[in-house]
C-alpha cells in the first residue's frame, strides 16, 4: 500500500472539482490500486489557508469554501503566505492552481520552482510556468527525482502533451492549427443565434466559462498563451505569449457572422504555429473565416478536438458541453495518478468523454 500526502495551492473551481473527484475515487484507489492519500494542506487567495499533517477534512474544507468562510476555522497553524505554505506543508504532491499571469508567470512560476526544489511532484493547470520556464522546471524536476506535470494547461482534459511525448516520441511537431479557447467559440456561436456581443459574453459568464473581466478570452490572451505553451513544450522552441501575433474577437459583429453563414462559412478564433528547423515562422491567434468543408466548421459552443500524424491531418472529435473546469480537475487527477502517485506505474482510471476543439497538426518522424 502506497500513501501520499497532497496539498492544494489554489482552491477555486478547478481545485474544488479535483477535491470532489478525489473524494469519489478514494475507495476505488485503495481497493483496486493500493493507493491511499491524505490532503494535508489547502491554501487559497480569499478563504485563508490550513495545514493539518494528520489530514484535512476535505468535505469540511469544500463546505467552508462554498460558503465563503475561512479555512482557518479548521486549523490553528499560522501561515504567512503561499511560500510559507509550501515550506510547511511537506507534501508529496502539490496541486498548483493559482491564477495565470500571462506576462511573467508569477507567482505560480516561483511556487512550482520552490516545490520542485523541495522534492515535491507538482501538477498544475497554470500555463504561466510552462510558457516562461519550461526547460528550467523540467531540469529542476529531473535533478530532484520528481515530476513537473502540466497536462491540463492546454485543451483541459485532452492529453495533448502526453500523446506527443509517449506515443510519438521520435517525431518533430511541424505545425498546428485549431481552436483552443472555448469561451470565444461559444461567444461566436451565440452571435450566430442572434445574440449581441454583450449578451453572448453575459451568457458565457452565467454558465461559468467566462470571468467577470472577459478580456483575457475575447482579446486573445488565453489563446496566445496556449499557443506559446504548445510551441515551447512540443516544438522545443521557447516562445512568450507577447510574441504571438494576436487579434481577438471584439470587432466581430452579429452582422459579420450572419453574412459569413450566408456564404457557408463561420468565424473561429484560430490558433496556429509553424516552424522551419529551429525557428518559428508563424505563431498566430486571429479570427478566421472557416469554410464548411473544414472539420473545424462543425464545432459549435464548447466542444473541442485535436489531430494529425505523419504530415496528413487526422481528426478526432469528442464533446461534453459546459464541463471544462470539471474536466480540467479530472485530468489533473488522471495526470497525477498516472505519473506522480504511481511512481511510473501507468494506472488507467475511467476517462470520461473530453471536450476540445478540432485541431489539425502535422508531425515529421525523425530519421
pLDDT of res. 302: 65
Range with the poorest average pLDDT among 21-35, 75-89, 238-252: 75-89
> Could you give the angle at the alpha carbon of 332 between the alpha carbons of 52 and 173, nearest 5°?
145
Q: Compare 208 and 223 and report the one with higher pLDDT.
A: 223
pLDDT of res. 303: 52
* Mean pLDDT of the 222-249 span: 96
Domains in the chain, ordered, with CATH? 2-163+325-341 (3.40.50.720), 170-319+357-365 (3.30.360.10)
* Mean pLDDT of the 219-224 span: 96
CB 154 within 8 A of CB 359: no
Selecting among 226, 240, 268, 362, the annotated active-site residue is: 226
**Eight-state DSSP code of residue 44:** -
- Model confidence pLDDT, tens digit, residues 275-327: 988 899 999 999 999 999 998 898 876 654 333 333 444 343 433 344 444 44
* Mean pLDDT of the 126-143 span: 97
Q: What distance in Å separates the CA atoms of residue 3 and residue 30, rounded to the nearest whole number?
A: 10
Is the confidence at residue 348, as pLDDT, over 90?
Answer: no
pLDDT of res. 280: 92
Range with the poorest average pLDDT among 70-79, 104-113, 150-159: 70-79
pLDDT of res. 120: 98
- Phi/psi for 270 (5° steps) reads -95, 135
Active site residue 32: no
The band of 14, judged by pLDDT with boundaries at 50, 70 and 90, is confident
- Is the torsion defined by CA of 262, 265, 267, 268 positive or negative? positive
* Mean pLDDT of the 51-79 span: 83
Write down the pTM of the prediction. Answer: 0.80
Strand 2-9: give its sheet, edge to edge: 49-51, 35-43, 2-9, 93-96, 121-124, 148-149
Mean pLDDT over each residue of the chain, to the nearest integer? 83
Cα–Cα distance list, 214 to 101, 143, 152, 191, 192 (Å): 15, 39, 21, 16, 19
Amino acid at each position: 500500500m502506497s500513501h501520499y500526502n497532497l496539498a492544494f495551492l489554489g482552491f477555486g473551481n478547478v481545485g474544488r472539482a479535483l477535491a470532489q473527484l478525489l473524494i469519489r475515487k478514494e475507495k476505488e484507489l485503495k481497493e483496486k490500486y493500493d493507493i491511499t492519500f491524505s490532503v494535508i494542506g489547502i491554501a487559497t487567495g480569499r478563504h485563508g489557508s490550513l495545514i493539518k499533517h494528520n489530514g484535512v477534512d476535505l468535505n469540511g474544507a469544500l463546505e467552508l469554501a462554498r460558503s465563503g468562510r475561512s479555512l482557518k476555522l479548521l486549523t490553528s497553524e499560522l501561515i504567512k503566505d503561499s511560500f510559507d505554505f509550501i515550506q510547511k506543508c511537506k507534501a508529496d504532491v502539490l496541486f498548483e492552481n493559482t491564477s495565470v499571469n500571462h506576462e511573467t508567470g508569477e507567482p505560480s512560476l516561483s511556487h512550482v520552482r520552490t516545490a520542485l526544489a523541495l522534492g515535491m511532484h507538482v501538477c498544475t493547470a497554470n500555463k504561466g510556468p510552462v510558457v516562461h520556464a519550461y526547460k528550467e522546471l523540467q531540469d529542476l524536476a529531473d535533478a530532484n527525482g520528481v515530476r513537473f506535470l502540466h497536462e491540463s494547461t492546454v485543451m483541459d482534459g485532452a492529453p495533448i502533451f502526453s500523446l506527443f511525448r509517449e506515443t510519438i516520441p521520435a517525431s518533430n511537431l511541424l505545425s498546428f492549427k485549431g481552436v483552443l479557447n472555448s469561451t470565444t467559440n461559444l461567444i461566436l456561436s451565440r452571435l450566430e443565434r442572434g445574440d449581441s456581443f454583450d449578451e453572448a459574453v453575459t451568457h458565457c459568464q452565467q454558465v461559468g466559462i467566462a470571468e467577470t473581466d472577459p478580456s483575457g478570452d475575447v482579446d486573445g490572451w488565453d489563446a496566445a498563451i496556449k499557443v506559446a505553451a504548445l510551441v515551447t513544450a512540443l516544438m522545443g522552441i521557447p516562445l512568450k505569449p507577447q510574441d504571438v501575433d494576436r487579434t481577438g474577437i471584439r470587432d466581430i459583429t452579429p452582422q459579420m457572422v450572419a453574412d459569413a453563414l450566408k456564404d457557408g462559412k463561420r468565424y473561429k478564433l484560430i490558433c496556429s504555429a509553424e516552424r522551419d528547423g529551429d525557428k518559428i515562422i508563424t505563431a498566430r491567434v486571429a479570427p478566421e473565416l472557416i469554410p464548411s468543408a473544414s472539420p473545424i466548421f462543425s464545432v459549435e459552443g464548447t466542444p473541442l478536438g485535436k489531430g494529425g500524424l505523419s504530415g496528413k491531418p487526422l481528426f478526432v472529435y469528442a464533446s461534453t458541453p459546459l464541463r471544462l473546469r470539471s474536466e480540467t480537475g479530472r485530468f489533473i487527477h488522471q495526470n497525477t495518478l498516472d505519473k506522480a502517485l504511481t511512481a511510473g506505474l501507468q494506472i488507467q482510471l475511467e476517462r470520461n468523454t473530453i471536450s476540445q476543439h478540432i485541431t489539425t497538426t502535422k508531425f515529421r518522424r525523425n530519421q
